[in-house]
């Protein structure tokens, strides 16, 4: 190994450019496959001429509870940067609930005691589905059962953020109707008053990320806290009414609503209440947590601003300690790729647009804000457009590429990591034509980067964090064909997939004769960190999962 490292050190090309084609996976199914349908001459050439392997990007391979769990950008970038498997959000919460640790913890005891002391309401806000990316409805139901049966909480209100993104695009009633029955039974069995109080689509209110659109959070505040908005008798009525008024609207875009009875809104948040934001994933939970916790807050006017006991499901930002109170400890990821390369004195650039900037920085670095070394690292955020992604499927790919090409030519970095969000963000809209264009935009930019790498005699590793754009139609599990809407059109799929992703090695010099090692069985995203060390001429750390490459010399 030492001899190999010495040889590689003498010939290793610079820079190493890691291209994350977010949401672009590999699938043999052609129906609804916007990646296969797109005009992608550069990706096609790479798959024909360069060595590649397919990586697992979902399930247990990236720390999720089961192989039926689709991958996502957070755990994907955690896995790439960490170089090994860490138990992730859903698994951590499952274990904490199953063992009872969540209920024995200080946060849960503090919030439930606060309700008993003040005779006040326990509120739950979060993504209302079993998508298992940001949250899981089973966690919510378990906490409600515990609150009623054990903690003697007599009044709870649930503020539901409708999904249609990590689950079927119009599946909201599949969750709302059974949940209402669950609440009816819970209320009867324990003599409590637990009700849905407000809601809206996840892309309309509350769940903004990376400060891309604080107006979403402000609308959520007015809906959940003030109880101010369009009124309905039930959540089911709100959903069916909006669908009738807005044909084709999908759940994530449904407007906010407030549930009322004869006395008015049933669940505005008041002084003395307790509030739990039950998402476990951090990126779309930070802003609403800040709004609840920060005294010096000027982003929008919080009217009213009740004094509450607030907790998140997890600590969403470990460095900034957001939120201050949380129910479950997040994974503690240390000795990540970025940190270890800084220790080696390597210069690194991380770049994306706003929608995925946190993924190539915070999540890549093991849920850590800030840099490991100010002198060695540069982080570049290209501001995202505030328009529906299907209207600008090219997003900021060209601007990202402009900067990357310039930096490759300048020769200032040993490693450049970049994320093109297009395949994921446009894929989530369910608009097939726009997603195909999004993939083509990424391919166009990939060609520019490859030419710059070629000119600099560098090397590139092209991969993704999970699939999305390659499966744009819901598929019947029995027949394998696309499910149909009542009008006969294919039913759009807006969620991530269980498909693998490519890992392609592009070495224009051909000096090392690199190829993928067939003895690395079931390769996954966690193998990428050690592979990057190989390509940089460094011995991979022992705690990393094995590297993927072999070299002729």
Cα–Cα distance measured from residue 155 to residue 290, given in angstroms and rounded to the nearest whole number: 25
Same domain, 298 and 392: no
Whichever domain contains 408, its CATH number is 3.40.720.10
Task: Say what the pLDDT of residue 318 is.
Answer: 64
Residues 94, 83 within the same domain: no
Catalytic residue, candidates 26, 73, 120, 129: 73
The CATH number linked to 282 is 3.40.1450.10
Q: Are residues 421 and 357 in the same domain?
A: yes
Q: Among 260, 293, 328, where does a domain finish?
A: 328
Give the chain's residues under pLDDT 70.
1-12, 318-319, 330, 511-512, 553
Q: Which residues contact 3 (CB under 8 A, 6 or more apart)?
A: none
How far is residue 251's CA from residue 539's CA, in Å, rounded to a whole number? 48
What pLDDT is attached to residue 9?
Answer: 43
Cα 380–Cα 395–Cα 165 angle in degrees, nearest 5: 105
Nearest in space to 355 (alpha carbons), one of 25, 127, 23 = 23
Same domain, 192 and 337: no
73 is catalytic: yes
Residue 540 and residue 11: Cα distance in Å, rounded? 17
Same domain, 108 and 246: yes
Choosing from 328, 354, 373, the residue where a domain stops is: 328
Q: Are residues 244 and 341 in the same domain?
A: no
pLDDT of residue 1: 31
What's the burial of 245, exposed, middle or buried (CB within 10 Å: 0-12/13-18/19+)?
A: exposed
Quickly tell me which residue has 């498909």 as its tokens: 499
Domain boundary among 280, 313, 328: 328
What are 246-285's pLDDT values in tens digits?
A: 999 999 999 999 999 999 999 999 999 999 999 998 889 9
Query: In whole angstroms, what is the distance from residue 447 CA to residue 442 CA?
Result: 9
Tokens representing 237? 């009525």
Same domain, 401 and 438: yes
Q: Are residues 20 and 101 in the same domain?
A: no
**Total count of residues recorded for the chain:** 553
Q: Are residues 96 and 80 in the same domain?
A: no
Q: From start to end of 91-245, where are the E strands? A: 122-127, 155-162, 193-201, 231-232
Do 322 and 338 belong together in one domain? no
pLDDT at 360: 97
Q: Which residues pair with 502 in a beta bridge?
A: 54
Domains contained in the chain, number: 2
CA distance 7 to 166: 46
pLDDT value at residue 11: 46
Asked whether residue 37 falls in the same domain as residue 157, the answer is no
> Same domain, yes or no, for 410 and 371?
yes
Residue 87's SS3 state is coil
Q: What is the pLDDT of residues 298-341, one digit of tens each?
A: 999 999 999 999 999 998 876 578 999 999 986 778 999 999 99
pLDDT tens-place string over residues 239-255 = 999 999 999 999 999 99
For residue 2, what pLDDT is reported?
Answer: 32
Domain hosting 111: range is 90-328
Q: Kindly give the residue spans of alpha helices, DSSP state H, lying in 274-373.
A: 286-293, 337-343, 354-358
Token code pair at residue 21: 């084609």
């Amino acid at each position: 190994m030492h001899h190999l490292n010495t040889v590689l050190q003498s010939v290793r090309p610079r820079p190493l450019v890691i291209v994350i084609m977010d949401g672009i996976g590999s699938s043999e199914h052609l129906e609804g496959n916007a990646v296969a349908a797109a005009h992608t001459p550069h990706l096609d050439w790479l798959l024909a001429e360069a060595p590649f392997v397919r990586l697992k990007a979902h399930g247990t391979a990236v720390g999720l509870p089961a192989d039926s769990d689709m991958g996502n950008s957070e755990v994907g970038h955690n896995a790439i940067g960490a170089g090994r498997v860490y138990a992730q959000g859903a698994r951590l919460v499952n274990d904490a609930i199953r063992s009872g640790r969540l209920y024995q913890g200080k946060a849960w005891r503090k919030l439930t005691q606060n309700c008993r002391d003040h005779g006040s309401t326990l509120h739950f806000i979060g993504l209302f589905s079993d998508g298992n990316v940001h949250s899981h409805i089973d966690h919510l139901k378990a906490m409600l059962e515990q609150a009623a049966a054990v903690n003697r909480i007599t009044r709870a209100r649930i503020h539901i953020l409708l999904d249609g993104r990590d689950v079927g695009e119009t599946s909201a009633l599949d969750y709302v109707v059974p949940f209402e029955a669950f609440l009816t039974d819970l209320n009867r069995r324990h003599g409590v008053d637990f009700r849905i109080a407000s809601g809206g689509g996840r892309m309309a209110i509350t769940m903004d990320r990376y400060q891309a659109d604080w107006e979403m959070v402000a609308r959520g505040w007015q809906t959940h806290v003030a109880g101010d908005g369009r009124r309905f008798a039930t959540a089911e009525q709100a959903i069916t009414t909006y669908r009738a008024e807005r044909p084709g609207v999908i759940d994530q875009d449904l407007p906010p609503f407030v549930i009322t009875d004869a006395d008015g809104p049933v669940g505005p948040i008041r002084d003395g209440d307790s509030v739990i934001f039950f998402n476990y994933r951090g990126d779309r939970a930070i802003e609403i947590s800040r709004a609840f916790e920060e005294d010096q807050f000027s982003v929008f006017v919080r009217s009213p601003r009740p004094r509450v006991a607030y907790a998140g499901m997890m600590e969403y930002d470990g460095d900034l300690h957001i939120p201050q109170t949380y129910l479950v400890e997040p994974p503690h990821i240390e000795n990540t790729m970025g940190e270890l390369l800084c220790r080696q004195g390597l210069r690194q650039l991380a770049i994306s647009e706003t929608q995925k900037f946190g993924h190539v920085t915070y999540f890549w670095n093991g849920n850590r804000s800030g840099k490991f070394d100010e002198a060695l690292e540069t982080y570049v955020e290209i501001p995202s457009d505030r328009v529906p992604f299907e209207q600008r499927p090219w997003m900021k790919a060209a601007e990202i590429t402009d900067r990357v090409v310039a930096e490759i030519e300048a020769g200032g970095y040993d490693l450049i990591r970049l994320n093109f969000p297009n395949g994921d963000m446009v894929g989530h809209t369910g608009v097939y034509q726009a997603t195909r264009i999004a993939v083509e935009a990424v391919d166009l930019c990939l060609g520019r980067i490859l030419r710059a790498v070629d000119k600099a005699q560098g090397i590139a590793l092209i991969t993704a964090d999970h699939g999305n754009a390659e499966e744009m139609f819901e598929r019947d599990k029995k027949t394998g064909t696309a499910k149909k809407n009542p009008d006969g059109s294919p039913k759009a799929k807006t969620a991530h997939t269980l498909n693998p992703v490519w890992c392609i090695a592009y070495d224009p010099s051909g000096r090392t004769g690199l190829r993928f090692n067939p003895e690395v069985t079931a390769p996954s995203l966690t193998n990428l960190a050690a592979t990057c060390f190989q390509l940089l001429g460094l011995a991979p750390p022992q705690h990393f999962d094995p590297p993927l490459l072999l070299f002729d010399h």
